[in-house]
Every structure is written in structure tokens, then in C-alpha cells.
A and B are shown apart, each in its own frame.
Chain A
């Protein structure tokens, strides 16, 4: 099956810093999503981005499908950005996503 890797596994930042999270996948995909899991366990949808670039406030994402990777950019980080960021991909509509192992982000005040 498709493999999903994320890097770095852990990241500690000072408030206000910028960061880039990476997701690599082993095969072509039809769908890719980025999620943020908050400290209470809820998975929040950040981006649906099988290709191209999107921006939402301080967050943006880019997926280069031909090279099988996606990047999540967080600018001017805030303590509320802390949590685990997951990348998830699937190869066919209607089937389940395969999740990466996540990047744990800690933003210090």
C-alpha cells in the first residue's frame, strides 16, 4: 500500500517563528489533506490540496503531485498552533485516507 512519511517528527518553536512541515508519499494520489489535531484530540481540517498551492491566513500549503510531496507552512506561529499535524492521502475516491505519523509542534510563549 501507499506509504506516507512526515518530517520532522517533532518541532519546538518560539512564538512568532515560521516553520515548514513536509509530507512525502510513495505513489500518485487523488486526494491529500492536512489536519491539525488539537490538545483535546479533535482533528481540524486545514487544507484539501491534491495539487497546487492554497493559503488560509497564516497557513499555506503546496503539493507537488509529480514529485510526491506536500509542504505546510506556518508563519508567525502562535501558542494555539501547538498540536500534531497530520498529512493524509488516498488513491481512489470513496476509500479511506492513509495517514502519516504526524509532526508534533510545540510553540513556546
Chain B
């Protein structure tokens, strides 16, 4: 059974703190993604990675960085958390370009982050 896990379901941090959100997948997928979801704005891509140590900016990368040191793990880092980063964060993974179909994207359970 495919599985994407995230380190926390709920997280409360203070403004200015450094925040790490971790995502682990056990499907040997090459591509991993971080999205945030906000009411009225839908799901927006923050960053994605298509290989170890590789990263690409998504639609809203400002205020975030990522790290992918191992194939199964993709971390999202908020260097100095701000209240406007309060949101639901969703991690996902899928196979590489050209992989045998179907090439579905699978999501983790999400992390609800509150920045006070």
C-alpha cells in the first residue's frame, strides 16, 4: 500500500521561529512536492524536487526553502515563520517523467500549521 507520511498533523509556532516540516514516502518516487492550501485560494505549489538534491520553485516559493538529501525524504523549511504562513501544508509524490502509466500523485495527510 502506497504511503506518504508527514511529521506532524498539527503544529503551533511563534513568529520568527524556524520551522521544519518533513515528508517521507515509501514508494521510491522520484518527484516530491510541497503545497499549501488556504480557503478560497485552493492548492498552490511551493516547491518540488525531481531528484535527490534537486529542487524547483513552484508558484509561491517566497519565505520557504526545501531540502532533499535522500530520495524518500523532502523537507520544507520556514526560515522565519510569519503569521501569513499559517496554513495547511500538503506533501505529495509521484514517479518521474516518462514512467510507466498510470503516473498518479499521492498525498500525505497534511500538517495544519499555526503561526502566532
Where the two chains meet, the residues of A that have a C-beta atom closer than 8 Å to any C-beta of B are 31, 33, 35, 40-43, 45, 48, 86, 88, 92-97, 99-102
Give the interface centre of B37, B43, B48, B58 by most chain A CB atoms within 10 Å.
B43
Contact of A93 among B37, B90, B98, B110 (CB under 8 A): B98
Which residues of chain B in 42-63 are interfacial with respect to chain A, using CB atoms and an 8 Å cutoff? 42-43, 45, 48, 50, 58
Question: With A92-B97, A93-B97 in contact, is A41–B106 under 8 Å at CB?
Answer: no
- Size bracket of the B interface: 20 to 34
Where the two chains meet, the residues of B that have a C-beta atom closer than 8 Å to any C-beta of A are 30-31, 33, 37, 42-43, 45, 48, 50, 58, 88, 90, 92, 96-99, 102-107, 109-110, 112
Q: Is the CB of A42 within 8 A of B110?
A: yes
Q: Which residues of A contact B104 (CB under 8 A)?
A: 33, 45, 48
Contact of A41 among B48, B88, B98, B103 (CB under 8 A): B88
Q: Which residues of B contact A93 (CB under 8 A)?
A: 96-99, 103
Contact of B98 among A31, A33, A42, A94 (CB under 8 A): A94
Q: Which residues of B contact A33 (CB under 8 A)?
A: 104-105
Distance to closest chain A CB from B25 (angstroms):
14
Closest to A44 in B: B107
Q: Which residues of B contact A41 (CB under 8 A)?
A: 37, 88, 90, 109-110, 112
Contact of A42 among B31, B50, B107 (CB under 8 A): B107
Q: Which residues of B contact A42 (CB under 8 A)?
A: 107, 109-110
Q: Apart from A42-B110, A93-B96, list 10 A-B contacts with CB within 8 A.
A: A31-B103, A33-B104, A41-B110, A41-B112, A42-B107, A43-B90, A86-B43, A88-B105, A94-B96, A96-B58
Give the interface centre of B48, B92, B104 by most chain A CB atoms within 10 Å.
B104
